[in-house]
Copies of this chain bind each other. A is one copy, B any other.
């Protein structure tokens, strides 16, 4: 397909490379930052620019910009009626598309994207939605060309996936940070924890998280919990996090 990508950030970069590898034709990278657009366009051999006027031969525009910026892009976008316009945001619905757009939808890859990191896009689930059958079917075939897992999901439901991602990615990463801080108190580096991180993930993946829960909270081992809270006196934030999560685990498993 002939595709225009709006946004040369982490999602736009990763997605346009995956689409390019799958044989699609990236016509143009559009970004507020000419520098970023040029850099990405040079890798893909595509055009680039700031102007949001979409060429006649473009079949799909993918708008991979920050949630807050999507509305502004839609207001300036001048695209042929037949072109499908899709955004990549988990927590933004279809209402962001203006009434002058005919074919619109969502192309949400469930992953955390980072500059300079590459991963196998084929393993990432892509959640799609369209305002009509033509759009849904086109987005489905586009998603299927880069990923093995394509799921149609309406915005009301997709929002929950975005929220789930906050817990299993952003919050998990904050727990990793806490682990680093706390092992630092013993003069130990973060890397001593890595085998434990890996087994924790693999266990939850194999058995499900509910059958994998261990530790003082699930045993309601008040003596150890008290000792831990004492040790956390160096960080009021981690002390509070310890209490709230421990309470939740106790309530879930021992109530």
> Which chain A residues have a beta carbon within 8 Å of chain B's beta carbons?
67-68, 91, 110-114, 117, 119, 123-125, 149, 151, 153, 157-161, 163-180, 182-183, 185-188, 190-201, 203-210, 212-218, 221, 223-224, 227-228, 231-232, 237-238, 240-242, 244-245, 247-249, 251-252
Which of A125, A171, A228, A231 has most chain B Cβ within 10 Å?
A171
Give 25 CB contacts A-B under 8 Å: A67-B223, A113-B214, A114-B212, A149-B192, A153-B186, A158-B186, A159-B227, A160-B183, A163-B231, A163-B232, A166-B215, A166-B216, A166-B217, A167-B238, A168-B193, A168-B197, A171-B178, A172-B175, A173-B203, A173-B209, A173-B212, A179-B209, A190-B208, A190-B209, A237-B248
Binding site of A, secondary structure by majority: helix, strand, loop or mixed?
Answer: helix
Report B-chain residues with C-beta under 8 Å of the C-beta of A124.
195
Check B163–A123 contact: CB distance below 8 A: no
Oligomer: number of copies: 2
A172-B200, A174-B213, A174-B248 are known contacts. Are A179 and B193 too (CB-CB below 8 A)? no
Check B249–A244 contact: CB distance below 8 A: no
Report B-chain residues with C-beta under 8 Å of the C-beta of A186.
153, 157-161, 164
- Kindly state the separation between the CA atoms of A170 and B120 in the bound complex, as whole angstroms: 28
Report B-chain residues with C-beta under 8 Å of the C-beta of A173.
200, 203-204, 209, 212-214
Report B-chain residues with C-beta under 8 Å of the C-beta of A190.
208-209
Check A179–B195 contact: CB distance below 8 A: no
**Shortest Cβ distance from residue A127 to the other chain B in the assembled complex, whole angstroms:** 9
**Shortest Cβ distance from residue A146 to the other chain B in the assembled complex, whole angstroms:** 13
Report B-chain residues with C-beta under 8 Å of the C-beta of A187.
157
List of 9 A-B pairs having minimum Cβ-Cβ separation, nearest first = A170-B215, A168-B179, A157-B186, A176-B209, A160-B186, A177-B209, A164-B182, A164-B179, A164-B183
Contact of A168 among B176, B218, B245 (CB under 8 A): B176
Check A196–B165 contact: CB distance below 8 A: yes
Check A214–B169 contact: CB distance below 8 A: yes
Check B177–A171 contact: CB distance below 8 A: no
Report B-chain residues with C-beta under 8 Å of the C-beta of A206.
117
Check A197–B193 contact: CB distance below 8 A: no
Check A195–B125 contact: CB distance below 8 A: yes
Report B-chain residues with C-beta under 8 Å of the C-beta of A185.
157, 160
Check A249–B196 contact: CB distance below 8 A: no
A91-B227, A186-B157, A208-B180 are known contacts. Are A196 and B112 too (CB-CB below 8 A)? yes
